[in-house]
Amino acid sequence: MKIYYKDVDAKNETRFTFADFKDKVGRIGSAFTRLGFKKGDIVCMYSSNSPEYALIVLGVLSVGGIITTSNPTYSEVDAKTDTRFTFADVKDKVRRIGSALTRLGFKKGEVVCMYSSNSPEYGFIVLGVLSVGGVITTSNPTYTTDELSKQLQIVRPQYLMAASETAEKALQAASENGIKNVYVFGNAPGCKTVDDLLRDDGYAFPNGVNISTQEVAIILFSSGTTGLPKGVMLTHRNIVGNLVQMKDFLSYGRPGVDGFLGFVPFFHVFGLILILFGGLKTRQKVVCMQKFDFETFLACIEKYKIRYLLVVPPIAVMLTKHPLVDKYDLSCVEVIMSGAAPLGKDIEQKLESRLRTCKVVQGYGATEASPACSLPQSDVRTFRSGSVGLLVASTECKVLDPQSGEELGPNQDGELCFRGCQIFKGYLNNPEATDAAIDEEGWFHSGDIGHYDEDQNIYVIDRIKEFIKYKGFQLAPAELEGLLLSHPAVADAAVVGRPDEDAGELPMAFIVLKPGQRATETEIANFLAAKAAPIKRLRGGVEIVEEIPKTASGKILRRVLREELRKRALRVKKAKL
């Protein structure tokens, strides 16, 4: 008689016949009955595939039980140490954080500021705070003490979570703003450790926290449409709504198999909501890179088989040009989606040509839109090159003439305006800026110039915003000008973005010196570098001029300066031909 094997364990080749199977299913059913298991009781399967998995399932079903399953795969991975956390781990640690904060007297509506680089623990803190009704605000860990302090004065957080390397700046800023405690990821003198929060038993986690969808969940900082950085208030409805709107886009990856590479800083809306929250929402792992290093970035793509790569334009440019790319196997990449700033159509095509296995697409959003307004369709083959995709679900768009305010039709460039559940509540304690950004009918005026075509693809052409986009970061010229004007030799200053193929734009300053004063371009650049974060340095250069072009009301005519830079770049290009 021939014996057929019902199940074989591929790892150790353990084999089970049909007779084995029947016997073991009976044993499982009997064991559960002895334990008091009753018809209709539930067993949750939280394991990877094995013959025993099937034995348990059939044993439970044979005695009238119910089976439910849960994904045992990793949700977060630390790229530096390869430490892995399952979805169950994340749920447990979020509960511990919420419980620990509750024991400390943390109340619904209070604020925690994240001043750290990316890590799985960053996500635990953010979700732990939100789970008990708290509010999260984020800050760039490269900010100086003064820059951090200015932000803290606006949001007034109760706790500050910092990296060990930013602890000294965090302590100083905390002391200036009456913050209760500074916690660090790791250890640092004068600080408590996040590990203390994670050691909590979780039993103080409050039950039945009543959180309204309209309550503020996260406050991120953006330049808005003009001026100095402002606190963008995103509600629970904004964030959850946008995650649902992005469902098809985020679900391109296979749950439990694929993941996102979390190299975009989590203090940025792209990194926090699109990558971290988006990955967890769709049950895909998030590989957290503490800081960006291009070779580590390439190694992570190869190691973790990243199929859907979310990038910002400077990284797309590096992937197009950098020789290191040839050292790594990136054949796993099927789609590269660029966001945070426009990506040139030529870079799209060059990148596709170099990697050969992938499609390069773009999306459009803003911090004020939680962040997505338009995205490529799930079938990326339909993507219209040069566009930023189609509107996400339940979103409206109209294009207005910047001068007259009249609504324009297809293929007519004007200011892009959006309306939908993802549009932010407003700027914190700044009703004037809020009114300037959101009109009475709920339309968010983006400050970007673009159009839509007959097929409703959105195109971003230029912007009327004043801020500079350097490597996906938004830099407010007014902030840099204020710092420059504090130099004893400077009478006037204007900062604009100088076009740069790799970075998008480089901050460049035009300076008018006071009569009788002297200062070199290098001295001016060094002066600002000492007062601002590295991303705000004047990499585009400094130019001493006799006057700054302004309107009759005294507003700087940045477009005149940008046009002059554009003409210079064109002359240089022609001279090389």
Q: Rounded to whole angstroms, how far apart are CA atoms 489 and 517?
A: 5
> Which domain CATH number covers 25?
3.40.50.980
- 557, part of any domain: yes
Same domain, 94 and 203: yes
- 158 assigned to some structural domain: yes
Extract the runs of DSSP E, i.e. beta strands, from 155-197.
Answer: 159-163, 181-185, 192-193
Please say if the pLDDT value at position 437 is more than 80.
yes
Domain limits for position 202: 87-211
Distance CA 77, CA 84 (A): 5
> Could you tell me if residue 336 is inside a domain?
no
Q: Are 287 and 79 in contact (CB under 8 A)?
A: yes
pTM: 0.77
Label the pairing between strands 159-163 and 181-185: parallel
- Residues of 214-237 as b/e, b for ≥16 C-beta within 10 angstroms? ebbbbbbbbbbbbbbbbbbbbbbb
Same-domain status, 65 and 100: no
Pair (109, 193) in one structural domain: yes
Beta partners for residue 417, in sequence order: 398, 445
Q: Does residue 514 lie in a domain region?
A: yes
Burial 51-79 (b: 16+ CB within 10 A, else e): beebbbbbbbeebebeeeeeeebbbbbbb
Residues 60 and 92 in one domain: no
Same domain, 188 and 104: yes
Q: What percent of the chain has pLDDT over 70?
A: 92
Alpha carbons 299 and 325: distance in angstroms, whole number: 10
Tokens standing for residue 132: 């008990």
Q: Residue 343 — pLDDT band, cuts 50, 70, 90?
A: confident
Residue 522 and residue 488 share a domain: yes
Quick check: is 411 in a domain?
no
Same domain flag for 59 and 94: no
Residue 474 lies in a domain: yes
pLDDT tens string 257-313: 678 999 999 999 999 999 999 999 988 889 999 988 999 999 999 999 999 999 988
* Judgement on whether residues 61 and 125 belong to the same structural domain of the protein: no
SS3 42: strand
Per the CB < 8 A criterion, the answer to whether 508 and 541 are in contact is yes
Same domain, 98 and 48: no
State the helix-helix crossing angle for 87-103 and 120-131, rounded to 10 degrees. 60
pLDDT (tens digit per residue) in 43-53? 887 666 777 88
pLDDT on residue 228: 67
Please check whether residue 20 lies inside any domain of the structure: yes
Whether residue 304 is contained in a domain is answered as no
Point out which residues pair with 192 in neighbouring strands. Answer: 183
- pLDDT tens digit string along 487-520? 999 988 999 999 888 898 999 999 999 989 999 9
User: Among 477, 469, 490, which Cα is nearest to 532's?
Assistant: 477
Question: Could you identify the residue written with the tokens 């709107």?
Answer: 245
> For 224-252, what is the mean pLDDT?
85
- Among 196, 211, 226, which residue terminates a domain? 211
Any idea what the CATH number is for the domain that residue 472 is in? 3.30.300.30
Q: Which of 152, 187, 211 is the last residue of a domain?
A: 211
Q: What is the mean pLDDT of the chain?
A: 89
Q: What total number of domains does the chain contain? A: 3
